[in-house]
Amino acid sequence: MSAAIRPEVLTEAVGNVLVVTLNREHVRNAVNTAMAEGVAGALDELDRRRDLVAGVLTGAGSTFCSGMDLKAFLAGERPGVPGRGFAGIVERGSDKPLIAAVEGHAIAGGFEIVLACDLVVASETAAFGLPEVKRGLVAAAGGLFRLPQRVPYQLAMEMALTGEFVPAERARELGLVNRLVPAGEAASAALELAAAIARNGPLAVAATKRIITLSRDWSAEESFDRQRPMAEDVRSSEDAREGARAFTEKRPPRWSGK
């Protein structure tokens, strides 16, 4: 059963996966302050609960997210959360793997939310873009430095400087999308992918994400030294011993998160 962190954001635990739904369908899931606070609360829950290994972030209805709610902005709202930034996610996401499940448009701040996630499952209806320049604005919620990490420099420049949208199939070709699925199936496909992640050792999954994320800023000389304590913490865990026992005994592992 879904629960509401706030009415603007629904959460539902499905096995070891937390599904988070942006729930302002009447405004194409545009982000206001209440939604940002709801997303931040959902990510806090995902990080806090030891029984949860991964998360899926999706939007209600036929649109993932159209970006910032401009009416709320003009009324004086700033749809961010201290420490987590715009939409409660772009400056600090989850410590655990987070999958964006995209139907329809993920544009402006909505695309920046997608870029703040670790993996992307998109339906054939999806489209991505940073149209801020068309409105005389700058995409300041992480898109201008995350996008060049995901696609070649020239393509990131083209998307950011023209503001044109990229359809789902092209986004898949560029490597922005992990899995492309028929319309209406993004959330279920993302949940399948999250479940495949959640079957693995939770300590190992969290450490793996952390190393991949942090190592982008490590030099070649320091990489192994920086990785070593994180890997050793997992190697010395009860879960590591359980994984080895389960393999030798030819049975599924029973993870404890310890």
Catalytic residues, which ones? 112, 132
Strands 179-181 and 17-22: unpaired
CA angle 214-216-222, nearest 5°? 80
DSSP conformation letters of 200-232: S-HHHHHHHHHHHHHGGG--TTTHHHHHHHHHH
H helical segments located in the chain: 33-48, 70-74, 109-115, 143-150, 153-162, 168-174, 186-198, 202-214, 223-235, 238-248
